[in-house]
Amino acid sequence: MRDDAEAPDAVRWLQLAILLAAVLPTAFFIVAAWRGHQSAFAAAQVRAERAAQLAHEHAARAIESNEVIVRQLVSSLTEAADADIRLRERQLHDRLRDITDGLVQVQSIWVWNAVGRPLVSSRVYPVPPELDISGREYFRMLQERRGGWLLSDPLVGAGDDTPFIDISVRRDLPDGSFGGVVSSTLPPEYFVDFYRRLIAAEPGLSITMFREGGTIVARWPAPPSSVFRVNPNGLVMRAIAEGRSSGTVEGESSLDGMRRLAVFSKMGRYPVYVVAAVDQNAIISEWYEKTGVLAAFTFPAALALAFASWVALRRTRRELLAADRANRESEQRGRAEEALRQAQKLEALGQLTGGVAHDFNNLLMVVNNNVHLLARLAPQTADSKQIQAINRAVAAGTKLTRQLLAFARRQPLRPEVISLKDAIGGMLDLLRTTLGSKISIEYRDLARNALVKVDPAEFELALLNLAINARDAMPNGGRLTITTREALPGELSRLVPGAYLVLAVEDTGIGVRQDLLERVFEPFFTTKQVGHGTGLGLSQVYGFCVQSGGTARMESTPGVGTTVQMLLPAASPDSVPVSPVTAAPETVQALSGRLMLVEDHAEVASAILPLLESLGMSVEHFDRADAAFEALAANPRRFDVVLSDIMMPGVLNGLDLALALRREYPELPVVLMTGYASHTPRAVASGFEVLTKPCTAQTLSNALAKALRKRAAG
């Protein structure tokens, strides 16, 4: 077994070997292929230049031999009149025939008079008197000027339709007047045969002879039957139009559409060009063939080397993986256990705080009801400092349990559709007062649809808690920024799919250390000094968000500031937000009738019962829902209204009792009480009035009065 230092080194060397086995041959292949590509095109250009040069020399010799014959004939006929030439026609014919018989580049030689009629020919004897070339372009051009040689376009013989090219020169009489034309004809097939032999072993090569105007004189391979001219917009013709007499161009051929590398040159004084062109497809095919051979040798060797290195690497890694697997599993187990401990801790804290808050609510209800009862029995004490202090303590305790239940997700919520913009805007003055003059506040609304369905009171409390935390984090002043926007997809992990809004509260305070961030939402946890915080503000924010279907998150950088984000489910854009309504002051209403009180907590019952009796009710207490239902079954008309706690021991709880009474005795109204949020939605959805513990005497009397009025109305 290798030691810990050697094993990673061995892996790295083997990985490097695999990399080099792939990279070096590939790099060699790319460089060789690139150089082969360059060489293929360079060799093709050399072949084209050589073919163009040979075709040029071949054409030059052919034209030169025709010029020599014509020049000698013109010289011998300078002093001869047309009549003398006709008299010597037989002699001249034989002489010219003897000259041309051994020259394949000379098709025939003709002497024409000043009006374009034949005087003598190497081809026929006697010449046909009806032949007339006076209408041909080269004849007219020589007739109009002195000296010079002309090379005609490809022509067809008048007698036998034989194609030819005419090399002509003017014949002047002794007095300088135009005496006619002496011409030598060349067969185009002579050039085609040469081109065919020249490129027989050169795939993709073509040779073309054409006049300056683009008329094709000869070409191999033969052009399409419908093509007689070179396209004036072709690359070679454009180069000629620029005044170039020779050169190399590359592009698409105007004759067959193939992309070619072309070398061209001009035939001396004649307006004739020879071009040799190589098909680039042929060049590429040849390059592919050579590159394929190179690849056939290079890559198998590289693959063999890479495979050998891979086998060695695999064996080495197998040894390392066996040791690493245990470490990874141990680390993963530790992370999972830590996450589970954190979740269990929060859940346990939630259960603990929820249970404590519920019991505390019952105690508060006992105190609150007894204080109210005391005030009714002794009116002179209602405004005493002691009674007021007890009321303030009850209110503070109620707020405390509200925050505890919010973290435990047991705070009864009454969600309504509200506009974040309106809700935050309505709180800005309160927030400015809370923050003080040293802290500026900025609100940015970036959400297109800022509607959410939450409990308005809990929302305001959560925002106020965040503002207070921000204020305490900025003792020397700073800036608080509240932003609303749509949540991004990456922010919605572990949330139910849907649209969410983000309400971000950002301060420029002292920040929170990273090791404390995972604890900031725990109840009673605080980073403030002793006596400066309860540790329940952020737990209320977290509980409110989770209970509303979202979550809360914190990001913080020490010395820079903290951002708390509340992610809340967005309401439908079609929802109508509720308008804030100022509640009318509640008063204690006098009651009358028979009331069934179902409450398992003896102290709560002992506080509620005399209170209800003081309001005018006749009350009978039951500590179990099962017993209450049996009593009603025995005498359904025994009570006018039922007041029951939801959480009850026994087979039936308070909600089960209410549903059973509605089913059996629909005319009997039922009012429910609870301190747990989990009970509220089902009870409200079932159409029951639900009071949140602890409730005031005013709230209790109003709810019972409302229920009795409904019963009286039928």
pLDDT digit string, tens, across residues 480-531:
999 999 999 888 888 889 999 999 999 999 998 888 888 888 877 777 665 5
In whole angstroms, how far apart are CA 283 and each of 202, 254, 296, 315?
A: 11, 19, 20, 47
pLDDT tens profile 196-221: 988 887 778 888 888 888 888 888 88
pLDDT of 582 reads 46
Residues in Cβ contact with 322 at an 8 Å cutoff, skipping those fewer than 6 apart: none
Q: Is the pLDDT of residue 461 over 90?
A: no
- Would you state the structure tokens that stand for residue 132, as one six-digit string? 């007339």
Tell me the average pLDDT across 411-435. 85
Phi, psi torsion values for 20, nearest 5 degrees: -65, -35
pLDDT of 476 reads 92
What is the Cα–Cα distance from 626 to 657, expressed in whole angstroms?
Answer: 8
The strand pairing partners of 440, in sequence order, are: 479
Considering the entire predicted model, what is its pTM? Answer: 0.40
Q: What percent of the chain has pLDDT over 70?
A: 81
* Cβ burial 165-190 (10 Å sphere, 16+ → b, else e): bbbbbbbeeeeeebbbbbbbbbbbeb
What is the Cα–Cα distance from 571 to 501, expressed in whole angstroms?
Answer: 9
What is the Cα–Cα distance from 19 to 4, expressed in whole angstroms?
Answer: 23
Q: Is the pLDDT of residue 1 over 80?
A: no
pLDDT of 568 reads 94
Closest listed residue to residue 552, CA positions, set 449, 560, 563: 563
Q: Is the pLDDT of residue 351 over 60?
A: no
Residues 252, 259 contacting (CB under 8 angstroms): yes
Domains of the chain: 11-309 (3.30.450.20), 413-569 (3.30.565.10), 593-713 (3.40.50.2300)
pLDDT band at 339 (very low <50, low <70, confident <90, very high): very low
